[in-house]
A and B are shown apart, each in its own frame.
Chain A
Amino acid sequence: MKWSFKDLLKLRSVRRVAQVFFFSLFLFFVVISDLRYLKGYPASLFLELDPLVAFATAITTHTVYIGLLLSLLLILPTLLFGRIFCNWICPYGILHHFIGWLLGKRRAEERERIEANRYKKLYSLKYVILIGMIVAAVCGSLQIGLLDPICLFHRSMTTAIMPLLNLFIPSSVYVRQYFHMGAWVIGFLLFFLVGMNVLIPRFFCRVLCPLGAFLGTLSSVALWRIDRNPDKCVDCDLCLKSCEGASDPHTQLRKSECFVCFNCIEDCPEDAISFKFMPPLKHEITAPMVPARRALLGSLVGVGFFAFGRASGKTDRDYNKKVIRPPGSVEEKDFLERCIKCDQCIRVCPTNVLQPSLLESGLEGIWTPILNMKLGYCELNCTLCGQVCPTGAIQRITIEEKTGVGPFAEEGPIRLGTAFYDHGRCLPWSMETPCVVCEEVCPVSPKAIYSREVTITKRDGTPITLRRPYVDPALCIGCGICEHECPVTDEAAIRVTAIGETRSRDRRLLMDGGVTSAVRDLEKRQR
């Protein structure tokens, strides 16, 4: 079969070009989410375009954060043309499409392929999942990030795939290898979901995807759709051979399932299928089919996610001291309303300190970012995590706001927590050995770690003058470089915990900076 330039001007061909373009674009954004390459690229563009992210955060926070307004660019075409996103733009969908083509039934009998693409009742599960997530959002807990395809794919790339590449080709992705807590869970989940394409083509997209469900609901009012001309049709069912959405184009088209991939148009030997403007309602199933009882069950699970999660107390007084959130994060309850677990912050962090938590921050906080000072620390003059966060769980703060200079000198710096000494592990405190690396690397001026010189008699009878370090809680910003650089690397002798963080009124340690007063006051008191 000869291929001519004319073939490019078919919509299916354009769709293929779009798939290559958007998938490459997604990979490009993942790769340049690095301080060395980021420049002005909108690395979180796919997340900002994601309509479910904008919709769900609008429910929880009653605002549409900065770039999320771009989601209108996808919502409006969906309302007109249907689920074009799922096959033209969604990088996760494109991945599944490709893997399905690679590993699926393409060599099999035509009949097998046709049967695999018929609509199954299982496919209504994604609507139940969406309902559960929306109900949880209405209560105040944002859980769409668990299964939203863009969030899931970003998360998998950040924590599992990019480190995998770097392990096999050292320094190809990072300067030094990055590690992520619980990466195996995310990695195997990715493999599982992608591997399921072997059994059911586009398994994730058809069965689990809440974004697909949302767009499917919006497609109900689409003015254009795939239409079958019953006069030309000979009921051969060949249109099902490559149908991506399992939308039953061979009978009444399920509008909410159709991915607008245009495969059916190309496959029909009778040229009976076309993309028409307002074809008759009788030839379609307009709204998604969701059994009412399943929907109710989904809602209950959504309520439970919020209620049981909160009632477990991890957002109130029983907060986990190790849940140290990135700088610029909003208060914990608001954080759980905004974080979509996309892990973009984790991807862009230059020190590998940000990690996806599992249950440390409670049920609602699965895969939300926390700092682990054993792996890194929060670089002082860096706000990259806030720059890439699409929903404002980490606000887009400036470096001046973070460090408390310029117009923010009166307020002072943002604190993530406070460091505390474990005297039994500290070399000068208990082991007769000089050290104070912690004091050396403390980045603020005046330093939050100071030392007192003391002379002791060692075990061997000789005297030694040691400098014993102390923390000044009025100055400590909780960046954790002290913990990271402490030579007692298994469990550092100075450890940062979340108390004293400025984002939360409840978790402040000192009232107004304590007796020693704010640094600004001390500056003003010139002798």
Chain B
Amino acid sequence: MAGSDLPKPAASPKRNRNEFVRENIPASERVASAVLLCLILGIGVGLWIKGKHFDPNRYALRTDALKSTAGAVEGKAGTLRSAGETQPGEEGASAAPRPKAEAATAEAEPAEGAAAAPKPAIKGEPLEIALPGLKPMGATEFYSSDNLFEKIDGRAPAYQGFNVQQLRSRSFSVNALSGSFVDVYEFRFDSPVNAFGMFALERDPKGKPLDFAPDGYAGEMGWFFRQGAVYVQVIASDQKPETLALAVAIAQNRAKQLPADDAGLAGRRKLPAEGLIADSIAFVPDNAQGQAFLKNVYQANYNFAGGKLSFFVMVTGPGEAAAAWKSYLDFSGQFGGKATVLPDASGAKLFAAENFGTAKVIYQREGEIGGVVDVPNGELARQFVEKYLAGQIK
């Protein structure tokens, strides 16, 4: 061991401090110390500066990058609103059509490519009607234009002709009577005009008008009307008073709940009610009377002065109306026909024509063009038109 036989130094102090402090500090040590102190300072400053500079993409996604996945994705619908499994105790609901993919995967491997992609499930709000005495029977069914035939069979092509978008239908059972129920069909079209067109096409001549829907009528067990772009059919299962009462209530409820929208139906409004043969109202989307310039035309038959005539009206811009009137005038003068411009009446231009044994009188007033066509008696036509323009036939 080191120095055990040498005398120990003077009694060691119990305190911690050194009695001696090193005085002679070599210059090299001073320099090294100074350098190291500066180095430490430099490191501190350097780190502080480093801390200020950073790439913001480290912490948040670069918004630009989202463009790469901007496209929508097919076949990954969120909520599939078709009726799924039935539970014990559930009232029987007919299964809505399953997306095609499920059938495909059960079989052999689907081929790669778009053909195998499943159809997106049809979406919509369930049809809820809160009325006393009613209970929904099963879930709301949804059909698109493509599979509408599954519900309404042969009527589907006509609906497709008017660009039907969706059918939402649900049945409601009558609490008071077991076995009685009311079916509600809401056909949504892409415009009120098309809804009206389909409604008008199926119109029952014997139907009674409804007071809660201007375009509507009631049959023996059914209520049919157009509200906005929806053609609603409420059909009772039988004619028991409670059932019918509930059916009316449902129809009124739907008329109130569905938003009113008469866009494009200005022409319809123009058709006067006086003398109107109710079930004769028709809507012709284009090529009315064989004329390319006659689009979105409303026409109806009237009883007037002991005879029957056909009156039509088209509402568009003033320029188009004027052009259409001129075109019709020119056309009527061709093929051996006779067209005569009549004096203006009530601010409208008029002409009378006779083609192929029938007469017509056509007017144009600002954005409105219409008239009486296909009558044997030109004089009757002129009277009707002039009276209408004067506001005497409402």
- Measured CB to CB, the residues of A under 8 A from B are 1, 6-11, 13-14, 17-18, 21, 25, 32, 35, 38-42, 45, 106-107, 109-111, 234-238, 250-251, 265-267, 269, 271, 275, 381-384, 387, 398-400, 403-407, 409, 439, 445-447, 450-457, 463, 465, 467-468, 472, 475, 515-516, 519-520, 522-527
Contact of B52 among A40, A405, A467 (CB under 8 A): A40
Tell me, in angstroms, the Cα distance from A17 to B52 when the chains sit together: 25
Which of B22-30, B242-250, B288-296, B310-318 faces chain A?
B22-30
CB distance from A21 to the nearest CB of B (A): 5
Q: Please give me the residue from chain A that is nearest to B120 by CB atom.
A: A527
Contact of A10 among B22, B43, B85 (CB under 8 A): B22
Tell me, in angstroms, the Cα distance from A42 to B53 when the chains sit together: 11
Tell me, in angstroms, the Cα distance from A236 to B20 when the chains sit together: 14
Contact of A465 among B12, B22, B43, B139 (CB under 8 A): B139
> B83, A455: Cβ atoms under 8 Å?
yes
Tell me, in angstroms, the Cα distance from A271 to B105 when the chains sit together: 90
CB distance from A482 to the nearest CB of B (A): 15
> A9, B33: Cβ atoms under 8 Å?
yes
Q: Please give me the residue from chain B that is nearest to A461 by CB atom.
A: B89
Interface flags for B39-58 (1: CB within 8 Å of A; 0: not) read 01001100100111110011
> B61, A400: Cβ atoms under 8 Å?
yes
Knowing A39-B52, A475-B76, say if A21 contacts B30 (CB, 8 Å): no
Offer 8 A-B interface pairs, CB within 8 angstroms, sorted by A: A7-B21, A11-B32, A40-B52, A42-B47, A111-B12, A251-B2, A472-B76, A525-B117
> B83, A236: Cβ atoms under 8 Å?
no
> A457, B91: Cβ atoms under 8 Å?
yes
Q: Please give me the residue from chain B that is nearest to A381 by CB atom.
A: B61
> B57, A399: Cβ atoms under 8 Å?
yes
Tell me, in angstroms, the Cα distance from A7 to B68 when the chains sit together: 64
B179 interface residue (CB < 8 Å to A): no
CB distance from A479 to the nearest CB of B (A): 15
CB distance from A378 to the nearest CB of B (A): 15
Tell me, in angstroms, the Cα distance from A465 to B79 when the chains sit together: 12
Give 6 new A-B contacts, CB below 8 A, not counting A45-B47, A525-B74.
A9-B29, A266-B18, A439-B78, A446-B78, A457-B87, A519-B69
> B65, A406: Cβ atoms under 8 Å?
yes
CB distance from A197 to the nearest CB of B (A): 17
Knowing A235-B6, A452-B84, A526-B71, say if A13 contacts B33 (CB, 8 Å): yes
Contact of A271 among B22, B43, B47, B53 (CB under 8 A): B22
Tell me, in angstroms, the Cα distance from A10 to B28 when the chains sit together: 10
Q: Which residues of chain B are near A275, meaning CB under 8 Å?
A: 29
Q: Please give me the residue from chain A that is nearest to B79 by CB atom.
A: A451
Knowing A14-B37, A454-B84, A527-B114, say if A109 contacts B14 (CB, 8 Å): yes
Contact residues, B261-293 vs A (CB, 8 A): none
Tell me, in angstroms, the Cα distance from A13 to B36 when the chains sit together: 11
> B68, A406: Cβ atoms under 8 Å?
yes
Contact of A237 among B3, B44, B59, B139 (CB under 8 A): B3
Majority SS at the chain B contact face: loop
CB distance from A164 to the nearest CB of B (A): 26
B157 interface residue (CB < 8 Å to A): no
Q: Which residues of chain A are near B9, meaning CB under 8 Å?
A: 234, 236, 238, 269
Tell me, in angstroms, the Cα distance from A405 to B69 when the chains sit together: 6
Contact of B76 among A39, A404, A406, A450 (CB under 8 A): A450
Q: Which residues of chain B are near A519, meaning CB under 8 Å?
A: 69, 73, 76
> A9, B30: Cβ atoms under 8 Å?
yes
Q: Which residues of chain B are near A454, meaning CB under 8 Å?
A: 83-85, 87
Knowing A404-B69, A522-B74, say if A110 contacts B12 (CB, 8 Å): yes
Q: Which residues of chain B are near A445, meaning CB under 8 Å?
A: 73
CB distance from B284 to the nearest CB of A (A): 32
Contact of B117 among A35, A403, A407, A522 (CB under 8 A): A522
> B72, A451: Cβ atoms under 8 Å?
no
Q: List 10 A-B pairs, minimum CB-CB distance, nearest first.
A: A235-B3, A40-B54, A406-B65, A446-B76, A523-B71, A457-B89, A110-B12, A409-B68, A41-B51, A9-B33
B177 interface residue (CB < 8 Å to A): no
In this complex, the member of B40, B83, B135 whose beta carbon has the largest number of chain A beta carbons within 10 angstroms is: B40
Q: Please give me the residue from chain B that is nearest to A474 by CB atom.
A: B76
Knowing A10-B22, A40-B52, A451-B78, say if A523 contacts B83 (CB, 8 Å): no
Contact of A399 among B50, B61, B82 (CB under 8 A): B61
Knowing A405-B66, A406-B68, say if A522 contacts B76 (CB, 8 Å): yes
> B50, A41: Cβ atoms under 8 Å?
yes
> B18, A267: Cβ atoms under 8 Å?
yes
B330 interface residue (CB < 8 Å to A): no
CB distance from B224 to the nearest CB of A (A): 28
Tell me, in angstroms, the Cα distance from A9 to B196 when the chains sit together: 99
Tell me, in angstroms, the Cα distance from A465 to B136 when the chains sit together: 11
Q: Which residues of chain A are near B59, meaning CB under 8 Å?
A: 35, 38, 382, 384
Knowing A453-B84, A455-B83, A523-B71, say if A387 contacts B21 (CB, 8 Å): no
Q: Which residues of chain A are near B85, meaning CB under 8 Å?
A: 454
Tell me, in angstroms, the Cα distance from A40 to B55 when the chains sit together: 8
> B2, A41: Cβ atoms under 8 Å?
no
Q: Which residues of chain B are near A526, meaning CB under 8 Å?
A: 71-72, 74
CB distance from A53 to the nearest CB of B (A): 19
Q: Please give me the residue from chain B that is nearest to A41 by CB atom.
A: B51
Interface flags for B89-106 (1: CB within 8 Å of A; 0: not) read 111010000000000010
In this complex, the member of A42, A387, A400, A455 whose beta carbon has the largest number of chain B beta carbons within 10 angstroms is: A455
Q: Please give me the residue from chain A that is nearest to B17 by CB atom.
A: A1
Contact of B75 among A106, A250, A467, A516 (CB under 8 A): A516
Q: Which residues of chain B are near A109, meaning CB under 8 Å?
A: 12, 14
> A8, B37: Cβ atoms under 8 Å?
yes
> B25, A6: Cβ atoms under 8 Å?
yes
Knowing A10-B25, A236-B9, A453-B84, say if A110 contacts B14 (CB, 8 Å): yes
B209 interface residue (CB < 8 Å to A): no
Q: Which residues of chain A are near B131, meaning CB under 8 Å?
A: none
B126 interface residue (CB < 8 Å to A): yes
CB distance from A488 to the nearest CB of B (A): 21
Tell me, in angstroms, the Cα distance from A271 to B57 when the chains sit together: 58
